[in-house]
Amino acid sequence: MALSDLKEALPKYIEDVLDTSSNTTQKEHDLNKIHDQLSHISSTSLINNSATETSGQGICIAPKTAARCIKSAPRTLAYWRALKATLARQQHKKTIHIIYPGCGPFASLVLPLLAGHLNAQVKITFIDYHQAALNHLEQLIDYLGKDHMVADMICAEASTWQPSKNFDVLILECMLNGLQREGHVALVNHFAPFLVEDGQLLPGQIDIHANWIDASGELEYVQQQCFSKQKLNGTEITKFRRAIGTVFKLDRHTYLKAGHQKKTIRANSLNILERPDASYHFALCTRLLFIDNIRLHEYEDGITHPYYPALASQPAGGDILDVAYQTGAQPGFIFNRRQQCDM
């Protein structure tokens, strides 16, 4: 396809991805086309911007890596469906103000707006750590003729930038599985106080659950299902697990639980069940609820794969595991193990 045809084709690609009758393979095909075309919008190649950097709130993935995120069909579809539902709820407003930290070079989470597939009066503040990403995005927005949607473009560590007024929607995806290493939690806590009362965080809630998992048995089942292009069965997955408990919930109110320095957030204490056998390992499982019943389920994307923390040793049955989340340059969960008699 010639670049000149992209402006007309892009809304159709997005419509096909959102089409509930198309299968995942077709969606991935369309998203790969979108990625390849958008990569050539700018005169500056994204290939030269492939180095991941570390900020005060964790790693900041390179523009090239951020661009590839659009290829994950379940993740991208969940965000686009959630954005569509959110705009429908906010349509009574004259202008919907959106903040998008970690926007990357494609601003892929709001691409249906930029491509003209979704119609709404919006003003979007784009924030990214990498100037190269913003340079590419600026050319993309100019090409699509959507400059009027831009409130601002900020090159900064997003948690150091302060909004001058409240806004309606906070949309972001700066995370790895188990909420480790990237700054998603810190960014939500930083911006959530500026959401208006009827504002929407996307995703609206992230739940972290602890399980004993038969890692090799579960992985073999998942690989078999993927190889045969069959959907994962939640009931089958539970056969490889023993639930321990809910660890953490991230939503627009989590910042209220942060300490004075807002670097540590107390999570739940876990009563550790007896480990079934040596094939089971302590793991954190991630589930995303966007809005209404729009979800990203386990294994649908890398960010919802189980995370196995590097503990000095596996917890023992009867132990209590006090859990907290620590933000900063190395974000992630920290664990304090004690026995019942220590209470």
Instruction: Give me 144's structure tokens.
Output: 């699509």
pLDDT at site 263: 85
**Residue 37 is encoded by which pair of tokens?**
């075309």
pTM for the model: 0.95
3-class DSSP state for residue 165? coil
244-259 pLDDT, tens per residue?
999 999 999 999 988 6
Encode burial over 176-206: b for 16+ CB neighbours within 10 A, e otherwise. bbbbbbbbbbbbbbbbbebbeeebbbbbbbb
The DSSP string of 101-131 is ET-TTT-GGGHHHHTTSS---EEEEEEES-H
Contacts of residue 197, defined as CB under 8 A and 6 or more positions apart, other chains included, come to none
Residue closest to 244 by CA, chosen among 165, 118, 335, 173: 335
pLDDT in tens, 166-203: 999 999 999 999 999 999 999 999 999 999 999 999 99
**60-99: pLDDT as tens digits:** 999 999 999 999 999 999 999 999 999 999 999 999 999 9
Cα dist from 290 to 103, 194, 246, 256, whole Å: 18, 19, 18, 20
Residues with Cβ within 8 Å of residue 135, at least 6 apart in sequence: 42, 44
Task: Name which of 3-17, 152-166, 241-255 the model is least confident about.
Answer: 3-17
Diameter of the chain measured on Cα atoms: 71
